[in-house]
Amino acid sequence: MRDLGVGFRYLLKGQRWVARHGKQYGFGLLPGLITLVLYVAVLLALAMWGAGFVGWATPFADDWSSPWLGLFRGLLTVLLFALGLLLSVITFTAVTLLIGQPFYDSLSEKVDRDVSPDGTAPESDLPLWRDLWISGRDSLRIVVRALLWAVLLFALGFIPFVGQTVVPVIGFMVTGFFLTEELTAVALQRRGVELRARLALLRGRKTLVWGFGTPLGLAYLVPFVAVFLMPGAVAGATLMARDLLGEETRDGDAAETPGVPSQPSPSISRTDTESGTR
């Protein structure tokens, strides 16, 4: 359970790092602002035309008597907006990282150079278009997984008591896991670690992942907060990625946190992981 606190400290360390590097923080805000505008437009469209869409999708209820018709379609409209809001939280990070791939990759590399004992950082040996393709492909796979979880949890939410107590907790833990995967992917992909290997690393340290991603997922529920936390979240995820791979880190941000032994992973080459995902 100590890993929960360690994961949360990585989140705080990332925010402190960008606070000390204002230029990197400013550049890191741009992709989040672009994504925010797109998501607000979609949610506004749902709010304005959601009722019309529900009416169009439920012609079988046209002959229902009042008040059942209004209650039924009103509930479906609310559920549609709630589902859109949930999906926006789940997919915000993936879309922002895809839009801001060059920004966040540069930020993550600077974090690596800053905390590495020898001042170096792993660099991708692939062209930018190839990195973008891999990032987009992997993000789509993660989003599909997250959507399946979202639909399952949405359905379980109708179970009395359990749906109002246990299911929301599980939902935030699932959201935290997928947020952490997307954020650590920036640093891990640069090291040639593919999706299947990344998921194995994260599953091996679930409490560390939940300590980092679950508070972040809760914070993302507050409007506009996600935009301002994204640069620091990428920085903190880079520090956590070093921990997951057992890399040394200087200046107190040690990959091996005092009292929590690091768990080095076997060396994973790009060739090996790519072949493993086919």
pLDDT digits (tens, 9 = 90+) for 46-91: 888 988 888 888 888 888 888 888 888 888 888 888 778 777 777 7
> What pLDDT score was predicted for residue 55?
86
The mean per-residue pLDDT over the stretch 253-271 comes to: 41
Sequence-ordered alpha helix ranges (H) in the chain = 2-20, 22-57, 68-99, 101-115, 128-156, 162-190, 195-204, 206-219, 225-244, 270-277
Query: How does DSSP classify residue 61?
Result: G
* Short-list 217, 211, 210, 197, CA closest to 265: 197
Inform me whether the pLDDT recorded for 264 exceeds 60.
no
> What pLDDT score was predicted for residue 91?
78
> What pLDDT score was predicted for residue 260?
42
> What pLDDT score was predicted for residue 251?
60
> What pLDDT score was predicted for residue 254?
41
What is the spatial distance between Cα 198 and Cα 184, in angstroms, rounded to a whole number? 8
Inform me whether the pLDDT recorded for 24 exceeds 70.
yes
Instruction: Go through 251-269 and write b for each residue having 16 or more CB atoms within 10 A of its CB, e for each that does not.
Output: eebbbbbeeeebeeeeebe
Average pLDDT in the chain: 82
Its pTM stands at 0.75
If you search the block for the tokens 């506004």, which residue do you land on?
44
Inform me whether the pLDDT recorded for 102 exceeds 60.
yes
